[in-house]
Amino acid sequence: MKYADLHIHTYYSDSTFSPEEVVAYADKTGLSAIAICDHDSFDGIEPCQKLAAPLGIEVIPGIELTVEKEDAEIHILGYCINWKDDPLNRKIKALRDARINRMHKIISKLKEEGIEISADDVFKFSGRGTVGRLHIAQAMLKTGKVRSFKEVFEKYIGFMKPCYVSSAKFTPEEAMEAILGVGGVPVLAHPKTMGKDDYISDLIKCGLRGIEVYHTDHRAADEKHYKKIAEDHGLLITGGSDCHGMGKGRVLIGTVRVPYEIVERLKEESAKIQDDPSTRPTIQ
């Protein structure tokens, strides 16, 4: 049986893992396919593809975009995406740049709360990658003033917490259009984190094609719940570990996996999206 882990980050966003490490772990855990889904970046895709090909491991090009809707932060994955598209690359470069501003704003808010970190402290963790809250969290832990990621997000930088600053520059409609416009298949990431099941039908109206039913943060009851929602709406059922290397303290690659057949479904859906004129982008 062939398996795929469809949610993996590299050090081009907020994982500590290089493409070499990602592919070595994928090989070690016996995966046939992995999807690279960095936040606002495609930089990890090609290096992973080059390293994985000789090992017979397939790399599905993906992305993870953040959007907000009223009182929820929503992560949208885009699979089988044409990651070489120039207009899309310009858009996500703008998202990455905006994240630097956002980091400075978060740093100021943290200072008001008595936690002093500098931009350089954060850049030490982000390296070449898209700057994100996981890097800020790592810099905060280093001060010794906070003890865990849980505390960092629940007390300071989690959604709507005192030091939270939005990174969402796309509305759900725009994110979906950006993904569909380049043949990508939009899938709702870790729906439990969003926590607003009633938003799913609106997301479907914007073009959502799947739900990440299997995820590290989902227990068996969550899997059952989201599988039913996916089935009721005729959505694809995907899954992945959301591995951030050692970024979350534990290597997760391969701990959540789905049958390879899901990859085939995603490819079929991508082909349909590319054939459908209504999914072509209207804004460049």
Could you list the residues that contact Fe ion (CB under 5 A)?
64, 75, 189, 242
**Residue 14 vs 21, nearer CB to Zn ion:** 14
Residues that bind ligand AMP (CB under 6 A): 14, 39, 66, 132-134, 149, 153, 158, 167, 244
**Residue 91 vs 244, nearer CB to Fe ion:** 244
Out of Zn ion, ligand AMP, Fe ion, none, what residue 61 binds, judged by CB under 5 to 8 A for its kind, is: none
Q: How many CA atoms lie within 13 A of 65 on its CB side?
A: 31
Out of ligand AMP, Zn ion, Fe ion, none, what residue 133 binds, judged by CB under 5 to 8 A for its kind, is: ligand AMP
Out of Zn ion, Fe ion, ligand AMP, none, what residue 43 binds, judged by CB under 5 to 8 A for its kind, is: none
**Residue 123 vs 260, nearer CB to ligand AMP:** 123
**Residue 70 vs 232, nearer CB to ligand AMP:** 70
Distance CA 26, CA 4 (A): 9
- Amino acid letter at 206? C
Out of Zn ion, ligand AMP, Fe ion, none, what residue 149 binds, judged by CB under 5 to 8 A for its kind, is: ligand AMP
Site residues for Zn ion, 9-28, by CB under 5 A, read 14
Instruction: Measure the CA angle with vertex 133, ends 182 and 283; round to 5°.
Output: 25
Out of ligand AMP, Zn ion, Fe ion, none, what residue 167 binds, judged by CB under 5 to 8 A for its kind, is: ligand AMP
- In DSSP notation, 186-247 reads EEE--HHHH--GGGHHHHHHTT--EEEEEETT--HHHHHHHHHHHHHTT-EEEEE--B-TTT
Give the nearest residue (CB) to Fe ion.
75
Distance CA 269, CA 11 (A): 29
Out of Fe ion, ligand AMP, Zn ion, none, what residue 153 binds, judged by CB under 5 to 8 A for its kind, is: ligand AMP
**CB 64, min distance to ligand AMP, A:** 7
Torsion of CA 266, 272, 275, 276, to 10 degrees: -110
| Long-range contacts (CB closer than 8 Å, 24 or more residues apart) made by 278-281 | 279/180, 279/181, 279/207, 280/181, 281/87, 281/177, 281/178, 281/180, 281/181, 281/182
Is the CB of residue 237 less than 8 Å from the CB of residue 215?
A: no
**Residue 91 vs 244, nearer CB to ligand AMP:** 244
Query: What is the number of other CB atoms lying within 10 angstroms of the CB of residue 24?
Result: 16
Of 270, 271, 267, 264, nearest to 3 (Cα)? 264
**CB 14, min distance to Zn ion, A:** 4
Q: How many CA atoms lie within 13 A of 23 on its CB side?
A: 20
**CB 38, min distance to Zn ion, A:** 8
Give the nearest residue (CB) to Zn ion.
14
**CB 189, min distance to ligand AMP, A:** 9
**Residue 15 vs 270, nearer CB to ligand AMP:** 15
DSSP 8-class letter at 109: H
**Residue 15 vs 270, nearer CB to Zn ion:** 15
Residue ranges binding Zn ion (CB under 5 A): 14
